[in-house]
A and B are shown apart, each in its own frame.
Chain A
Amino acid sequence: MKNINSNSNDFDAIVVGSGISGGWAAKELTEKGLKVALIERGKNTIHGKDYLGEGKAPWDLPYHGKIPEDTLNNEYFIQQQNYALNQSTKHFFVSDKENPYKTEKDKPFSWIRGYQLGGRSLLWYRQSYRWSEMDFAANKIDGYGADWPIRYKDIAPWYDYVETFAGISGSQEGLSQLPDGKFLPPMEMNCVELEVKKNIENKFPGRKMIIGRCAHLTKPTKEHLELGRGQCQSRDECERGCSFGAYFSSLSATLPAARRTNNLTIFTDSIAHSVEYDKENKRASGINVVNSKTNKFSRINARIIFLCASTLGTTQIMLNSKSESFPNGIANSSGILGHFLMDHIFESGANGVYPRFQDKYFKGRRPNGIYIPRYHNIDKKDDRFLRGFGFQGGGKRPGWKRGRAIKGFGVDLKEQLKRPGPWTFSLGGFGEMLPDKRNKVWLDQKQKDKWGIPILNIECVLRENELKMLKVMAEDAKEMLEASGMVDVITYNNSAPPGLAIHEMGTARMGHDPKTSVLNKHNQCHDVPNLFITDGSCMTSSACQNPSLTYMALTARAADSAVEMLQEGGI
């Protein structure tokens, strides 16, 4: 590894961030022959070796996996809202105490973060769905948000490309609102799911229930095997890390691919403080880096820069990159930077109990559920809200954890808990959030973090369209479960704070017009042609599908454009 304090560390490209987008940028740029510096603010993490919780039984973890209450309350007061935080994963979550941000009391935003090599690609839930033509056209049609400068046809070949490399399992369905892709074999549905699928599809024309499409190797290809990746073992402990490399992460897939080019240099514990701007050449010239351990500053220079530091991370760096040319943050002549923050709305749906199939069970823990693709506002307009939502969920037979809700104790309880409970089925919606300028982030005037970087203020509120949609999600879920033969159906609508779906996006959006957007159709800053932004911050709308696959495709596409421009001498 090069010495970060030397002045000779010049590269063809810098990639900031090593999560899903940064990993892809590093892979694509190094494979195209560029010498790349990958800057990661978190610690180094070695695939396999640093998966400290992997394979451990509950009794092998301290306190059976539970984090001490005082630690949760002092260190993880926000992160603890995420289901995946426990003793087996806590090294992959940030300390909220060390990494503060501000929200107003009545407008919470849950910023869930993982600072390590690989970022949140280690922790993601791995659902992988294409966007459709409808999603890229939505802003133009109903007038919310700027028009996307690309359409489905522009990104479709890149979906093919990233799916093939990442390994996405799924079924071909022929749905216009959820295009098919290059899939590995789908995972199995269990008997109750097959039954519910049949019922929903019979009773609700236009609705489909499919097995989730997820970034798991159900049947690894030669390309996957060559990278040392193997087949999914159905442990469903993915957020602990998987030394089989069976799910896609930067550590299992893109970084090994980038490393074998010998063009990659990784700097960990290196926080991107700001982008340096060269006024003469009108180009970004490098990244100012603070070492997270020594607090020492240094600069890394390169010909092109990809910011992939996560939606809010990237925008924070840009806002903090102030110069004479860009007093309000680099590439922000439009003043749009920081605005139009979105997440997906969720935590609304229903659960029910299925009285049949008492003699059926399952083997293994499928790290995936079912998906009901969006069905509102497709062929005909729904008067209640704009755009739509999909459902994730699935059927299960609960084990001993249902003991929490069982009355009684003693021999009866113990005998009951030896056997699985009746099948249950859950449906939870994930809905689109309209782009709204009032949902935004900005740098705090006074408070800085321990590295001297102004902290973010975040303001993001669900509004009328979102609240209506959440209500309909719960009603629709109940209706479908009851029509499928479920009993004791209970709805919920938990008003989860925005951010908690961990699909935060927007704040440096793409668009046609430099006056109303930060990026053009190549994810290139309108104002600074050698600066590219390909993480969630580039998003112009949110659709309702999990976004990571789209970040992968946009990143690979932008890397291709950038290298072409570089070769043609345009940047």
Chain B
Amino acid sequence: MKISRREALKNTALILGISFPLTHLKSAMSVFEVDEINYKASFFARKNYILLMRITDLIIPRTDTAGATDIGVHRFIDTMLGEWASAKTQEKYRSGLNSIDKLAVDSHRKSFIDCSAEEQTKILASLDDHPEKNAQSNFFSELKWFVISGYYSSEYGGSVELRYDPMPGRYRGCTTLNKDDRVWST
């Protein structure tokens, strides 16, 4: 059974224990139909998949444009780990996510998903600021890069969030950057 994106987000929000603001969704909705309830991750176990989804959302959240989970970057990462990554990288992500969850349990006596958005942000910020706190050095920074590159090299990230120019013609070395001009994505 396919559920609507709105319901799915509500459901996901329930799972994640947070509430999404459900406005400004139009552009994102046309990009990605979310069915998280029935979705079967190809690499991560359910618990880590939800954890990955939450972290992905915290790294590039929805603003006036779609966030990383809105366009399925967490699924992209799941697919990449299943099909693209070596066994060594797979293990790093498995244990890396476990270690982030363990940080939450150690400091807040509950799993990462059950922490408040504020607590979650704090945990990630400490990993971001102090790479040595990662169980494997720099795991969070790698995961963050995975989310960033997954988002901006996607069609939405590359051509809606940023500007894509497949056939520029003559190169112009000195143009004016206006206040609202987005960066070229490639």
Contact = CB atoms under 8 A, between A and B. Distances in A.
A407 B128 contact: yes
B168 A235 contact: yes
Interface residues of A, number: 49
B84 A362 contact: no
Contacts of A70: 86
B182 A419 contact: yes
B167 A420 contact: no
27 contacts: A57-B159, A58-B186, A63-B83, A193-B173, A234-B170, A235-B168, A359-B176, A360-B175, A362-B173, A362-B174, A363-B165, A363-B168, A364-B169, A365-B168, A399-B152, A399-B162, A399-B183, A400-B157, A400-B185, A409-B59, A409-B128, A417-B148, A417-B152, A418-B162, A418-B182, A420-B183, A420-B184
A358 B178 CA distance: 10
A409 B175 CA distance: 30
Given A57-B155, A417-B152, A419-B182, A361 B175 contact: yes
B172 A408 contact: no
A189 B172 CA distance: 8
Given A365-B168, A399-B162, A400-B183, A69 B61 contact: no
B186 A234 contact: no
Contact of B85 (A69, A187, A361): A69
Contact of B185 (A360, A399, A403, A407): A399
B10 interface: no
Given A68-B84, A404-B145, A409-B128, A363 B61 contact: no
Contacts, number: 151
Contacts of A58: 153-154, 158, 186
Interface of A: 55, 57-59, 63-66, 68-70, 73, 187-191, 193-194, 233-235, 358-366, 397, 399-401, 403-404, 407-411, 413-415, 417-420
B35 interface: no
B interface SS class: mixed
B166 A235 contact: yes
B171 A187 contact: yes
B8 interface: no
Contact of A233 (B58, B169, B174): B169
A407 B145 CA distance: 11
A55 B166 CA distance: 7
B43 interface: no
Q: Which 4 A-B pairs have the closest CB atoms?
A: A364-B168, A190-B173, A58-B153, A364-B171
A419 B166 CA distance: 19
Contact of A59 (B58, B124, B154, B182): B154
B18 interface: no
Interface in B62-89: 63, 67, 76, 80, 83-86, 89
Contacts of B61: 410-411, 414
Contacts of B155: 57, 59
Given A359-B176, A399-B184, 7 more contacts: A188-B174, A233-B168, A400-B152, A400-B157, A403-B145, A404-B148, A411-B61
A409 B58 contact: yes
Contacts of A64: 76, 149-150, 153-154
B181 interface: yes
B132 to A, nearest CB: 15
A517 B153 CA distance: 52
A397 B163 CA distance: 14
Contacts of A397: 183
